[in-house]
Every structure is written in structure tokens, then in C-alpha cells.
Structure 1
Amino acid sequence: MKLSVIGAGAIGGWLTAGFVRAGAKATILARGASLAALQDTGLMIESDGECETLPVQATNNPEALQGADVLLLGLKAHDLPALAPTIRQIVGPDTLVMPAVNGLPFWFFEGFGGPAEGMTLNAVDPSGTLARIMPVRNVLANVVHAASLVAAPGHIRLVKADKFLIGGQTGRHQEIAEFLAKGGIPAEAYSDIHAAVWGKLWGNSNMNPLSALSRATSAQLLDDAGASSLITAMMQEMSALGARIGLTGFDDIAGRMASTRKLGAFRTSMLQDVEAGRAIELEPILGALVELADRLDQPMPVSKGIYGLTALLDRNLRVS
């Protein structure tokens, strides 16, 4: 298998390691310190205090990634539209694309049915460009339940690997899941990938922006009565939106909060974005839901208000 990778960071690097261990030949698009590290020493994966170095090809030339069996996109979802020309240059008619992203993905409504069938959201796919260059029939839809970080350029530290669900319309998700499982990734084929995406987002879409606004950990948010009431309201709104498009069963808010509490006082990805001075990953995680609700005339006032405040925060933090 020939694997091409754009974004071999915390999650992309971990998944790349699984492909390589299973026998794939990986070519990674990189630049700067990451390019130098990957070319000099390979891809380093650290887990439970032990380090493993895996052979990869690293390049800053997108043409070297052409002809891939699988293109792994380990970027944040809001970075994908700007990379559309590069992705178009790499993807062939038979290339399977694996976008390992958070939030509501660009492929979500193609072939989904219901009132949102075929809808493209400006929050994740302006002008529908991504859906055109990566048609859903070639997408390895997935949901990541794992935590890792970039310890240094080319050096990924795995914190926790729970599961990696793969589904979609390609017909090859079972094959790819088995391949990754051989490489040590807890991958499994999953028949209802839309529900899995929605379920993960049901927690992320509220905890993330509220943590960015308050600079609070998840435990602090859950322990505060006012913040907890906002979380509940946002989850109720997303449950109603899900029911509107045919995704039901998202009703046990207390149970979901209890599960989140078990994870401890973690710092969400949006909070980490704020602390690092990066653009907040707001549009795919909350903006897309607000846009979907507006287009379906579904009330979502609390979520819309939190989205507006977080967007203002993002803009004001990065004003030069």
C-alpha cells in the first residue's frame, strides 16, 4: 500500500505509524523543522515511555504524493479548504481519502437522506470544493477517540488510544480497519459512522467553546452551576437538531456529562488553540451546527450566542 500524508501531527502521525507498521510505504508532505526531522531520523512514536522510529519519506513537493492508494489528512478541518489545490493535485480517481478531523466533516450530508441531503456548509466546505475533489464514494469516513501530542518535530507522543472507527460508502472500510489493526491502531469498521460523528460532536461542540471563553478545564466547567447549565442547553439544542435530520437517541445528557467527568480536568483542543495563539477550530465544531440550524429554521439560540462570542474572541485575540 502506498500512503500519502498531509499533516503528520498528533493524530496524523499516530495513524501514519499504524499504516507503516502494517506494511505501507508512507510519503509525508512536510516543511521546516518537521521536514528536516522526518528526513534525518524518520517518524518517532512514543508510548508508555518507549520510543519507536519508523521509516518514512518526507518531502515538500506535493507531486511526490501522487499515485497514493490512501491519502491521510491529519490537519484541522478548518485548514482543509485552503489546501484544496494541493489535495486536488494529489488525489487520483481511485485514491481513498481519510480525513481524520474533528467536527462536522465535509462529506457528512452526501447520500445521507432527509432534509439535509446533499447540503454543503460554508463553515466546513466553502463553495463545495472539498466534496467535489474528494467524493464521498472515495472517503474513508472516521471518528478518532485518541489523544496524542507533538513532543518535538517528527516526534509524536501517544497519550491514550481508545478506538478509531471507520465507515462510509467506499466499501473498503473493513479492509482498511483490519490493515490498521495489524499496525497497532485500535481500528474497527463501524456501520453507523454518521451517528458516531454526531455523538462525539455532541460533547465537543459545547465543552470546547466554553473552555476557550472561560480558560477553564472540563472539570471546572462541569463543577460550575452556570457553566453546566449552558452545557445542558447546548446539548439539548443539538439533540433537537439531530432529531430534525434523522439522528436520534442523543438524550442522556447526564450520562454524557458523567462520562466526560471521568476523563478528569482536561484542557480541550480549543483552549489549547487559545493558549498557543492559534486560530480556534470553531467553524467545524460549532459554526457548522449553527449554520445547519439556520438553514433548516431550527431554533438554536444558546449555541448561536456561544458561537458568536467565541468568534469574537478568536478575532480579537489575533488582531495585530
Structure 2
Amino acid sequence: MVSPRIAIFGAGAIGVYLASRLHLSGQAVTLVTRPGSSLPPVIDFEEGACLRKISVDFQVPADAPYKHDFVIVTTKAQDLPVALPLIRPWLDADGHLVIAQNGLPWWFLDHLEEGTVLRAVDPDGSLLREINLARTLSCVVFKSVERLAGGHIRALVTDGDRFVLGCPAIAHSPAAAQLADILAQAGLQAETAEDITVPLWEKLLGNVVLNPLSAISGLDIGNLLADHDHRARLVAGIEEARAVARAWGLPPGSTPDQRLLRTAKVAASGTFRTSMLQDREAGRTLELEPILGSVRELARRRGVPTPTLDSFHAAARHLSI
């Protein structure tokens, strides 16, 4: 049986991590990089106590496409509308687009109210109109990875690390099961979800507060949790997000203590900066609207007050270029 052709579109921390793990397992994989911005020929790949060098001979610039069965998109979520025309030539006609991005995906509100566009993620509705959801998977990443200076990828090893796959249009997707098997063969904890909105919201409960507050404060997650006032704001923001979920008839997800317990486990594994703090320090645009703006949009549509999340959004917006 011929192995599926897999491309990872985006050479950020998660993209390089996934491509490296698949490459190390013997899976044919292509890491799609921004033209003129390739990785060094050899990178340092650190996971837990293991540090090795990897020859990145599987990277190809985005302007030299060829067809793949799965294209896993790991770019920043706000970049998807602009990136989509560049992604399409990489995807076989019978292939699957796999979204492994932070925040809520463009189809989330349509899933709750058919035909309704989530403007925070899809301002002109083009993603909802143009992307075939039957050939789309969401990959929810519960894994803490940083791309450090140069070609150094650092991944923490934490209880609860996993990759959850599901199709928004098909409850039991054979493609999701196939890709989960491939990730498992690469040594990753991978599973499928009948309703992918549940793990999407569970991850969002952490991101919606930890990402903006870390960017605002400049603190890594360990120091963020250790500060009494910051922790109280984290708890308040999670409760607001849970209220939004209830207003839409969604499972609210973990309690603040439960959700922050995983964060504490990540912090215990090593110093870790959220993706939004990494972006702030690197002078990149923050993923503010997909992570925070999307929840506020859902809240406004149901009249749910979110004063803590609103304050995070107002403060973080001034940091984003």
C-alpha cells in the first residue's frame, strides 16, 4: 500500500515539530516554507531530555508545489484567507486540508447556525464559501513547542500531550482515522473525535486567557500562574468563556482549576512562553482575533458579558503590529 503524501504548510514551531517527527518515523513528508525563508540545512530538535540534529532535506518553498494527500496547515490562523491560494496547488483533488491552528476555525459558527460567518476569522466569508468541509479536518494540538533562535525546536513532554483529529462535516471520518494512525506510527499520541468542536473548545479555554495575558504581561506561563492577581484574571476569563459555551448549547469544558492544572504541568516541564508571547517578542502580528476575538463575537451574538476577555483584547490589541 502506498503511503499518503503529507505536506506541512508552515515552518513555525508546530509545523517543524510535526514534519520532524514524521520524517524521523520514515514517513515521506514535505515541509512547505515561505519562499526565500528556508530553515537551516540542519536543525537542533529537542524534546524532553532528547536532543538530536536533523537534516532538513524535506523542505520546499511554497512557490514550487506538487500534489499531496494531506496538507496540514500550521500557519497563523489570521493568515489563512491570504494563504489559501498558495495552499491549494499542494492539495490533490481527492486530498484533505488539515487545519492545525490556534483559535476557532472559520466553520465553527456555521456549525452552530448554518450559513453564519465567524467574522473574527473569516472577515469576508470567503473561507466558508470556498472550502469543502467534507474534505477538511481539524487537528487540535495539545503540545507545547517553541522555535528558538536559529534552527532550534524545543518541545516539552507533558502528561496529556495529544493530537485530536476530526471532520466538521463527517462524524466518523476515515481520513481522520487514517491520519491519526500515521501520527501514532510517528510516536505521537493521536486520537479522533466524533465532535471536533469539543476538543477545539477545550483547548481554547486555555488559549483565550493564557495567550493574551502572557503577551500583555511578558511572563512565561509558570510566572503567570504564580502571580495571584494574574491567576484570578485567568480564572475569571475561563469562566466567561464557559458562559459563552453554555449560551450556545455547547459543553462548557473544564473548570478553571482543571484547565489550569494542565498549564501547571506544562510549566513544571520547563519554562514555556505562549505562542502569543513568542510572537510579541519576535515583532509578529498576534493571533488575537482567532483566539480571543472569535469568543467575544460569539458572546455578543448571545448577549453574554465578557469584561475580563474584553480587557485582555483591548490591552493586547495595542501590542499587535
TM-score (norm 1): 0.84
Structure with greater helix share of residues: 1
CA distance in 2, matches of 1:25, 1:271: 29
Change (3 A) 1:25 1:239: closer
Residue 102 of structure 1: CA displacement? Answer: 0.8
CA distance in 1, matches of 2:155, 2:261: 24
Change (3 A) 1:16 1:131: farther
TM-score (norm 2): 0.84
- Pairing 1:268–2:274 present: yes
Number of the residue aligned with 1:30: 34
Unaligned runs of 5+ in 2: none
Residue 257 of structure 1: CA displacement? Answer: 2.6
Preserved contact between residue 38 and residue 61 of structure 2 (Cα < 8 Å):
no
Change (3 A) 1:5 1:266: closer
**Secondary structure of 1:34 counterpart:** coil
Deviations 1:154-213 (A, max 9, x none): 654433372111112343211111112112222222233211110111011012111211
Q: Letter of the aligned partner of 1:286 in structure 2?
A: L
- Paired residues in the alignment total 306
CA distance in 2, matches of 1:73, 1:251: 27
- Residues 118-197 of structure 1 mapped to structure 2, 5 A cutoff: 118-151=115-148, 156-160=153-157, 162-168=161-167, 169=170, 170-197=173-200
Residue 251 of structure 1: CA displacement? Answer: 5.3
Q: 1:4 aligns with which of 1, 4, 7?
A: 7
Unaligned runs of 5+ in 1: none
Number of the residue aligned with 2:204: 201
Change (3 A) 1:28 1:273: closer
Residue 92 of structure 1: CA displacement? Answer: 4.5
Number of the residue aligned with 1:59: 61
Preserved contact between residue 22 and residue 182 of structure 1 (Cα < 8 Å):
no
CA distance in 2, matches of 1:133, 1:241: 28
**Secondary structure of 1:95 counterpart:** strand
CA distance in 2, matches of 1:23, 1:225: 46
**Secondary structure of 2:318 counterpart:** helix
**Secondary structure of 2:108 counterpart:** coil
Change (3 A) 1:167 1:212: same
- Residues 45-84 of structure 1 mapped to structure 2, 5 A cutoff: 45-47=45-47, 48-53=50-55, 55-56=57-58, 58-62=60-64, 64-65=65-66, 67-84=67-84
Residue 219 of structure 1: CA displacement? Answer: 3.2
Residue 49 of structure 1: CA displacement? Answer: 1.4
Residue 27 of structure 1: CA displacement? Answer: 5.8
Preserved contact between residue 148 and residue 160 of structure 1 (Cα < 8 Å):
no
Change (3 A) 1:224 1:83: same
Query: What is the root-mean-square deviation in Å for CA atoms of aligned residues?
Result: 2.6
Residue 108 of structure 1: CA displacement? Answer: 2.4
Q: Structure 1 residue runs of 4+, over 4 Å off?
A: 43-46, 151-155
